[in-house]
Amino acid sequence: MVIGGAEDRTGDCALLRVFAERSGGTGARIALITTASGAPDALFAEYSAVFRRYGVPDVRELRLPNRDQGDGERTLTGLARATGVFFTGGDQSRLGPLAGSRANLLLRDRLAAGPLVVAGTSAGATALGQEMILGDDAADQPRTGPGLGLLPQAVVDMHFTQRQRLPRLVTAVRQRPSLLGIGIDEGTAILVCRRRFEVLGTGTVTTVEAGGKRPDVRVRVSRAGGFFDLERRRPLR
């Protein structure tokens, strides 16, 4: 579940409620990874309160400030028992050291094997892709680096329409034309299952695909309730 940021955390919390329910509801065990945040205590308190409001009895924080923590046995144990893993927002460059870590590989294996829900919002969203944009808004040469690869063959951008990031995402796709660009508005998410996604929330999702000849790209916009085939790279309805 990839969230474009600024999701509701005080009202009906619709997107977070979907994550909590899919993680198991009253039987869920959520690992909240606050690595990207500069204020992890405050974010942990805020998110754990929302998840507990929707019946989740077990919410534990993983800060993972460095690669050693990402490779540690305690971290692996926490992730192995989790039914849901949530990456908060902040600065996605702080998540860079986790790319390729034992924690990262465990999450990839668990997603491939079966019942696990992984979500990220804002910085945590862009980190889920194969490549992540590292926070520079320069449209002509955005900085990128390896992502966690939990959403393979994709590069994700967030706060998309609100911060006018289409030029940045187009450039990122032109730099890595094998990747599908996915730009997600605030208050909006994609729910990925079986190599397709459904759009949830209040905004739109923009996909950017490299064309047959540089610098051509194909841009499509999907609204809430729409589905997109990640294999064929086209809307389903």
* H/E element, 192: strand 188-193
Catalytic residue among 61, 122, 131, 198: 122
Own/partner pairs for 149-152, CB < 8 Å, 24+ apart? 149/99, 149/104, 149/108, 150/107, 150/108, 150/111, 150/118, 151/2, 151/182, 151/192
Q: Is 141 exposed, middle or buried (0-12, 13-18, 19+ CB in 10 A)?
A: exposed
Neighbours of 97 (CB within 10 A): 18
The two tokens of residue 120 are: 């990220």
Q: Which of 61, 131, 186, 198 is catalytic?
A: 186
- The helix (H) or strand (E) run that includes residue 19 is helix 14-22
Q: Which amino acid is at 28?
A: A
Catalytic site residue 186?
yes
Q: Is 7 a catalytic residue?
A: no
231 is annotated as an active-site residue: no
Catalytic residue among 131, 159, 198, 222: 159
- Residues annotated as catalytic (active site), given as ranges: 122, 159, 186
